[in-house]
Amino acid sequence: VILAAIMRQLAGGAPLAGYTALVTAGPTHEPVDPVRYLANRSSGTQGYAIATALAQAGAEVTLVSGPTTLPDPSGVTTIRVESAREMLTACQQALPCDIAVCAAAVADWHVAPSAQKIKKAAHAPPPVLHLVPNPDILATLSQPSPLRPRLIIGFAAETEHLISHATAKRLRKGCDWMVANDVSPATGIMGGTENEVIVIDETGCAHWPRLD
């Protein structure tokens, strides 16, 4: 995937020994009640691969992962969380660090808490789930602060207007780089094992070809 390109750009071929990195990965699960949750589709593969590559380059890596079926990467400190709020807390506890790579597919909302477990009743009206915005982890980490990582990388999966949407997202979130993935069906990337990415920084954008 894209990790070779990130590695080249990050380190210019030099190892990352002495650097600390935070990587988020996977989906989040937002509880509805003790047995139900709202989720989004993400395998976590990309974030785990990035964490592994950073560790192999010598960085001290903390991976904050939502629920996945992947094993903990070797040489990486893995912290498992469920919800977006738990993920933000775990990320903040992992600061300070030099590099943050926010590859998790964080849910935009959680479910407003209900007084008790939702019960199915024969004649009751069907329940309604009220959604509440989740914290924006990428934007929160990117805010000016003595603890702000020096390099924060976000991801944008877009189906159209790739560069303009990703450029706007970079400015909105306040991160340093935005990795833009063209996931429109014509590229045949979704579900595939290779990836074409464009990395956008403050100077504009640098295009990388497809990478395995």
* Interface contacts to a copy of itself, rule CB under 8 A: 29, 32, 35-41, 69, 105, 107-109, 118, 120, 126-133
For residues 9 and 40, which CB has a smaller minimum distance to a copy of itself in the complex?
40
For residues 71 and 188, which CB has a smaller minimum distance to a copy of itself in the complex?
71
Largest CA distance in the chain: 67
For residues 110 and 176, which CB has a smaller minimum distance to a copy of itself in the complex?
110
Output the smallest distance, CB 180 to a copy of itself, in A. Answer: 17
Name the catalytic one among 40, 134, 181, 195: 40
Output the smallest distance, CB 29 to a copy of itself, in A. Answer: 8
| Tokens encoding 32 | 């509805």
Burial class (CB in 10 A: 0-12, 13-18, 19+), 69: exposed
Bridge-based pairing of strands 60-65 and 77-80 is parallel
Distance, in Å, from the CA atom of 41 to the CA atom of 26, rounded to the nearest integer, reads 9
Distance, in Å, from the CA atom of 162 to the CA atom of 174, rounded to the nearest integer, reads 18
Output the smallest distance, CB 131 to a copy of itself, in A. Answer: 5
Please measure the distance between the N-terminal and C-terminal CA atoms of the chain and give it in whole angstroms: 5
Can 195 be counted among the known catalytic residues?
no
What DSSP designation does 134 have? Answer: P
Output the smallest distance, CB 11 to a copy of itself, in A. Answer: 33
Contact 104, 28 (CB under 8 A): yes
Enumerate the active-site residues.
Answer: 40
